[in-house]
Homo-oligomer: A and B are copies of this chain.
């Protein structure tokens, strides 16, 4: 277990957290700068969910950095249980947000042709933000699986 890649308090874990924070921030930046996103519930929910993901991942990144510099072990059952709950909640919320945004973007592009009809809609930006959300979720899901695996192995 001590050698598990991506466990809390390791370089792998830190890289995962930094990646999650970066992609969540990129998603918020791109979506927040898109015209008219606030008219669509799915996009507002995406920003809220990515905000939560960013805060959680940033806090965990700081904790990982602290553990690495001070050589602390973060793989105690209580800490891992806490990480499992937080990771699973944020990963599920992120995935729901990314999927619903993807559903709406595909609807706009292929089903009701809003992107062609209303050319002021920044569909490219909506797409890019959704892609960033999926990337953030993929890293978050990796962390969540690692935590669950650690917890089950105690």
Contacts and interface: CB of A to CB of B under 8 A. Distances in A.
Interface stretch (A18-26, A68-76, A98-106): A98-106
Contact of A153 (B41, B110, B152): B152
A97 B103 CA distance: 8
Nearest to A100: B103
Contacts of A100: 99-100, 102-104, 106
Interface in A74-132: 92, 95-97, 99-104, 106-107, 110-111
Interface residues of A, number: 22
A102 B42 CA distance: 9
A107 B153 contact: no
Contacts of A97: 99
Contacts of A102: 96, 100, 103
A56 interface: no
Interface centre among A99, A110, A152 (most CB of B within 10 A): A99
Contacts of A40: 107, 111
B152 A41 contact: no
Nearest to A111: B40
Contacts of A99: 95-97, 99-100, 103
7 contacts: A41-B106, A41-B107, A100-B104, A100-B106, A103-B103, A148-B148, A148-B152
